[in-house]
Copies of this chain bind each other. A is one copy, B any other.
């Protein structure tokens, strides 16, 4: 019989989630899983970790309730437990961005310097898409695009952008998005697009945040 009351026991349980979020590698794993479900070996490669280490982090995330797994043959595929996990990660970033000087500094030196134009909020993009005056480009790798993307978005992975500029309708504004608020892909994309004379902006959110907010998405599976 636990010696503490229900309140303390609940705090112990919620602390498990805090523990799961207390390691930078696990946060990175969660960001990748926000884009699509993955196996251990893929996540290990994406995060540049050993397979054993990745597997242990995944066990911790699963035990904290942040991810689920299901076996397909000899492969185990992991995914986020729900959109509420995306929202938890988003508010974690927001709190960090608001209250941690180191976060503000990192964002300024690596992100704001690259694109000091305000990113477009999700609601505003939804409105503009309806007037068909804008091209939405998903600059994540194709696998992530196929797993899920904004309705109507086209996929031009960043490393193919220069070769595929002709696919963009001339004269239209381009809005690029990627994995999330602090993913560099859309910053780099916007930089390249502007260099080629395009009117380019970034979306404020990545795909997981857009989806978690209930905005329209589709898959290409």
State in angstroms the CA–CA spacing of A99 and B9 once bound together: 16
A81 CB → nearest B CB, Å: 5
Q: Given A88-B95, A110-B6, do A100 and B15 touch, yes or no (CB 8 Å)?
A: no
With the chains together, A183 CA to B20 CA distance in Å? 24
List, in ascending order, chain B residues with CB within 8 A of A12's CB. Answer: 24
Q: Is the interface of A mostly helix, strand, loop or mixed?
A: helix
When the two chains form their complex, are residues B14 and A99 in contact, meaning their CB atoms are under 8 A apart? Answer: no
Bound state CA distance, A114 and B74, in angstroms? 46
The quantity of this chain's copies bound in the complex is 2
Size of chain A's interface in residues, with CB distance under 8 A?
51
Question: When chains A and B are docked, how far (Å) is the Cα of A7 from the Cα of B22?
Answer: 16
- Contact surface of A with B, Cβ cutoff 8 Å: 6-28, 64-66, 81-82, 84-85, 87-88, 91-96, 98-100, 102-103, 106-107, 109-111, 182-184
17 contacts between A and B (CB under 8 A): A6-B106, A6-B182, A10-B107, A13-B103, A14-B93, A14-B96, A18-B21, A18-B23, A21-B22, A65-B98, A82-B98, A84-B94, A84-B99, A85-B95, A85-B99, A88-B92, A91-B91
